[in-house]
């Protein structure tokens, strides 16, 4: 039998709920985000979750700025993740693509509805999680430490 589909397309930031993820390995907040070319984009600042299924549906990526000034926030569907290590989240999009994604300002949106998320899925060419053929991604998660070379490249952002 197929899994039941989500009927509630409203997502919530995990930190704003008293919920826990179905799989604690999905909590990738504060990890560095690396694009398809190996370039740093920023870090995962928040996870938007599906309240009913307790699954991550969207990442909020924070990039740039100093002491909160000049920060930019981007949304990326979890389906863009290709792999996760202890310190990094690798995605199948280029930095350029993410930078030019639909505008997101976390101070302007309280509870986004399905209509709010649709442009992000369309922009990245991904099927929305509320679609009838949607299958939750199974990206490889590893708890391995980065290699010595990877650690020396880390700039602490």
Report the CATH number at residue 33.
2.30.30.240
- Asked, for residue 126, whether it belongs to a domain, the answer is yes
When pLDDT is cut at 50, 70 and 90, the band that residue 147 belongs to is very low
Question: Which tops the pLDDT comparison, 25 or 133?
Answer: 133
Q: Are strands 11-13 and 55-63 parallel, antiparallel or unpaired?
A: unpaired
For residue 127, the enclosing domain spans: 11-143
The answer as to whether 75 is a domain residue is: yes
Residue 68 or residue 11, greater confidence: 11
Residue 148 DSSP symbol: H
Whole-model pTM: value is: 0.78
Residue 151 belongs to some domain of the structure: no
Domain count, the chain: 1
Rounded CA gap, 45 and 84, in Å? 15
User: Greatest CA span in the chain, whole angstroms?
Assistant: 50
120 within some domain: yes
- The answer to whether residue 33 sits within a structural domain is yes
pLDDT of 123 over the 80 cut: yes
Q: Above 90 in pLDDT, residue 34?
A: yes
pLDDT confidence of residue 68: 55
- Domain membership of residue 150 (yes or no) is no
pLDDT tier for residue 49 given thresholds of 50, 70 and 90:
confident
Question: What tokens does 145 get?
Answer: 């430490």
Tell me whether residue 1 is in a domain: no
What pLDDT was estimated at residue 67? 55
Domain assignment present for 154: no
Residue pair 101/120 in contact (Cβ under 8 Å)? The answer is: yes
User: Which carries the bigger pLDDT value, residue 59 or residue 8?
Assistant: 59
107 compared with 67, residue with greater pLDDT: 107
Least confident range of 72-81, 114-123, 128-137, 138-147: 138-147
């Amino acid at each position: 039998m197929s899994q039941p589909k989500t009927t509630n397309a409203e997502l919530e930031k995990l930190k704003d709920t008293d919920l826990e993820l179905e799989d604690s390995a999905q909590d990738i907040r504060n990890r560095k985000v690396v694009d398809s070319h190996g370039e740093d984009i920023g870090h995962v600042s928040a996870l938007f979750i599906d309240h009913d299924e307790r699954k991550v549906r969207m990442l909020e990526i924070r990039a740039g700025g100093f002491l909160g000034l000049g920060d930019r926030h981007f949304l990326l569907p979890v389906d863009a993740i290709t792999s996760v290590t202890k310190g990094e989240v690798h995605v199948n999009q280029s930095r350029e693509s993410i930078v030019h994604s639909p505008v997101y300002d976390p101070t302007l949106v309280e509870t986004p509805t399905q209509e709010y998320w649709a442009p992000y899925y369309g922009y990245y060419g991904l099927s929305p999680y509320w679609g009838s053929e949607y299958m939750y991604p199974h990206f490889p998660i590893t708890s391995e430490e980065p290699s010595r070379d990877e650690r020396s490249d880390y700039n602490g952002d």
